[in-house]
Structures are given as C-alpha cells and as structure tokens.
C-alpha cells in the first residue's frame, strides 16, 4: 500500500500531509495551551473537519486502489466510478461539517428548520436547477451508460467525446477541438446516441447516377471498394462494404453505398463520405455527359 500511496496524484499527497500536519498542530497546541486565543468552538469544528476529511481520504485511497487493480486503470486516469467516489466523499464531508456546526453551537436542528422553512422553500425554488444537476451528476458518475471517453451525440449539432463529469455539467470535446459543457439534467433527459457502445457503425452514402452508366454494376461496385481500401486500409474491409440499388428508372438510378466501420467518429464518416463521392465522380469521367446527384 505504501508503494501505491507514492503513486497517488501529487496534489492529493500534499493535501493529505498538510491536513495531517494541521491536525497534529491543533492537538499539540491544545495540549500545550498556545492556542487559547482561538475560540474553542472553532478549534472543535476544525478538528472534526480534519478528522472526517482524513478518514474519508483513507477510505477513498483503499477503495480506489482496489478498483484500479481490478480494472487495470492506470494511476492518474479517472473514470465514472472514481468521479462518483470523489463526489460522495465531498458530500459526506459537507454533511458532517454541517451537523458539527449544529452540535458544537447547540442549535436545535428542528427549531432551525422551522425558523427558516419559508427561506428554505425559496432557496429550493431558486436553486432547483442546480440541485437537479447535482443529483443527475451522481447518477452519471455511477452509471454504465456513459463513460469518460465515450463518443456521444446529444442532438444533431452536439457531439463529441466525454472528457469529464462535474456537479454542474458534462464536458465534451468535439472533433473540431471545441469544448462543450452540457447540463447533466439535459444529458439525462435527452435522447443520446452513444457510438462507443455499438460494435460497429454503418455509414450510408446515397447518390443518383444515369442508368446508362451502370451497365456493369459489379465493376462499379468493385471500383468504389478499391478506392476506399486504398485510402483507408486500416478503417474498412471489403466484406463490410456493399452497393445497393434502391430504385432503377429509365434515365436515372438511385443508389447507396454502405460501409461498416469498427472505430467510428464523425470525422471518419465525413472523410469516407467524401471519398465515396470522389470515387463516383472519377467513375463518371468517361461518360459523355456525366450527371451525378449526391444525397439521393
């Protein structure tokens, strides 16, 4: 365990040692008597806070260490479970500190609630969205539906990789490098597509060609496959590509080319779509009056 503690993040080690030193100084100061200028209630509250914080830090340390060993998660990396443990630790410390204030200053909790009942109701109404986001953040941190590193789409124009989950919002990094903060409540109540949970993603590229240019469908399909295999040798496989004829008329034929990829993101889809259209245009160069309608 000592070797594991050495690998704990530097800021956590510094914070733990600092709290331990402060607690020791308070205990020694109270014993010797050189802290008489500080109100005893304040010292008592500070002692309770430090003891609770150090105790929960030790519990977190053993819990997270065992979890990292079991899930083979490198030190320094965080996932939803670790975020959830950190959040619960913060919440428990806050509750202990709040209860300690009532106990140290001998405040009747029931009387206090009665006296501020109207204010409490007003505060709940004012901070309703913040409370909802906080509760939803705990749900996100302990759920298996969304993990840090997952590639998701929340709406047509909101998509990216989950990089962090906080009490207020979930942090996404888009393909363009932008950072988006989505309220946790929106993420929990909206329809979300999680591409990281699927084994493969099918990319469909529709287009329309003159019927006379499809005298040899097999040759045309083979040309499209070869173009993609040449440009994306590590992304696509010949067995996972197919040309489908949707509607054949006298003058034009509606087609779509389907490609299944194992590793998906929107940048890859855009690149593959452009490559298909370029290959279709190249195949039509030999036609007297090439006409290609993209998008079906």
Sign of the dihedral through C-alpha 38, 43, 45, 49: positive
Could you read off the pLDDT of 18-62 as tens digits, one per residue?
888 988 888 888 788 777 777 888 888 889 899 999 998 888 888
For 2, counting Cβ atoms within 10 Å of its Cβ (0-12 exposed, 13-18 middle, 19+ buried), the class is: exposed
Residues 145 and 206 in one domain: no
185 and 231 both lie in a single domain: no
Query: Quick one: 18 and 104 in the same domain?
Result: yes
For residue 115 the two structure tokens come to 């006296």
CA-CA distance, 138 to 132, in Å (whole number)? 10
Compute the C-alpha angle 178/183/188, nearest 5°.
115
Q: pLDDT-derived band of residue 232, with 50, 70 and 90 as boundaries?
A: very high
Distances (CA, A) of 227 to 82, 232, 276: 45, 9, 8
Closest by CA position to 129, among listed 66, 183, 80, 53: 183
Tally of structural domains, the chain: 3
- Binning pLDDT at 50, 70 and 90, where does residue 2 land? low
Q: Is the pLDDT confidence value at 7 over 60?
A: no
Dist CA 83 CA 73 (whole Å): 13
pLDDT exceeds cutoff 60 at 12? yes
Residue 218 and residue 183 share a domain: no
**Which of 115, 150, 181 is the last residue in one of the domains?**
115
According to the model, what pLDDT value does residue 243 have?
Answer: 92
Q: Are residues 25 and 72 in the same domain?
A: yes
- pLDDT tens-digit map of 159-190: 888 988 888 888 998 877 889 888 888 888 88
Q: Residue 243: beta bridge partners?
A: 257
Q: How many CB atoms lie within 10 A of CB 259?
A: 26
Domain that holds residue 187: 124-197
Strands (E), 213-277: 241-248, 252-261
CA angle 137, 141, 60 (to 5 degrees): 115
Q: Quickly state the pLDDT bin for 277 (edges 50, 70, 90).
A: very high
Residue linked to tokens 């109540």: 189
293 versus 100: which is more confidently predicted? Answer: 100
More confident residue, 287 or 152: 152
Question: Which CATH number characterizes residue 220's domain?
Answer: 3.30.70.600
How far, in Å, CA of 144 to CA of 132, rounded? 20
The predicted pLDDT at position 69 comes to: 80
State whether 111 and 129 are in the same domain: no
Closest C-alpha to 257, from 228, 232, 235: 228
Residues 62 and 102 in one domain: yes
Residue 3 has pLDDT above 60, yes or no: no
Q: Please check the confidence at residue 244 and state whether its pLDDT lies above 70.
A: yes
With vertex at residue 169, the alpha carbon angle to CA 163 and CA 171, rounded to the nearest 5 degrees, is: 20
- In order of 23, 25, 36, 37, 42, the CA distances from 33 in angstroms are 15, 11, 6, 9, 15
| One domain for residues 226 and 182 | no
**In this structure, are 41 and 103 located in the same domain?**
yes
Whole-number pLDDT of residue 276: 93
pTM greater than 0.85: no
Are residues 279 and 258 located together in one domain of the fold?
yes
**Spatial contact of 223 and 283, defined as CB atoms under 8 Å apart:** yes
Sheet order of strands, 169-173 included: 179-183, 169-173, 158-165, 151-155, 193-194
Summarize the confidence of residues 59-77 as an average pLDDT. 80
Last residue of a domain, one of 159, 179, 197: 197
The pLDDT tens digits of the residues spanning 95-133 come to 888 888 878 877 776 666 666 666 666 666 677 777 787
**135 lies in the same domain as 150:** yes
């Amino acid at each position: 365990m000592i070797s594991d503690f050495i690998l704990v993040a530097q800021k956590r080690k510094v914070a733990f040692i600092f709290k331990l030193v402060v607690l020791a100084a308070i205990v020694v100061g109270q014993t010797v008597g050189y802290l008489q200028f500080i109100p005893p209630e304040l010292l008592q509250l500070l002692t309770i806070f430090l003891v609770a914080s150090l105790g929960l830090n030790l519990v977190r340390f053993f819990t997270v260490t065992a979890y990292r060993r079991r899930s083979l998660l490198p030190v320094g990396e965080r996932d939803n479970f670790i975020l959830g443990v950190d959040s619960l630790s913060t919440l428990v410390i806050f509750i202990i500190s709040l209860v300690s204030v009532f106990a140290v200053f001998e405040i009747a909790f029931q009387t206090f609630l009665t006296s501020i009942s109207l204010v409490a109701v007003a505060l709940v109404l004012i901070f309703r969205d913040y409370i909802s986001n906080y509760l939803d953040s705990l749900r996100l941190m302990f759920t298996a539906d969304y993990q840090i590193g997952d590639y998701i789409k929340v709406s047509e124009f909101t998509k990216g990789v989950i990089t962090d989950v906080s009490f207020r919002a979930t942090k996404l990094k888009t393909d363009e490098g932008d950072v988006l903060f989505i309220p946790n409540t929106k993420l929990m109540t909206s329809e979300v597509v999680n591409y990281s949970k699927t084994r493969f993603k099918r990319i469909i590229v529709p287009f329309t060609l003159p019927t006379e240019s499809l005298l040899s469908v097999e040759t045309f399909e083979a040309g499209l496959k070869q173009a993609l295999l040449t440009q994306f040798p590590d992304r696509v496989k010949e067995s996972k590509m197919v040309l489908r004829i949707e509607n054949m008329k006298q003058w034009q034929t509606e087609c779509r080319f389907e490609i299944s990829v194992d590793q998906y993101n929107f940048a890859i889809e855009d690149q593959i779509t452009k490559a298909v259209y370029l290959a279709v245009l190249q195949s039509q160069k030999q036609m007297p009056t090439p006409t290609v309608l993209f998008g079906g």
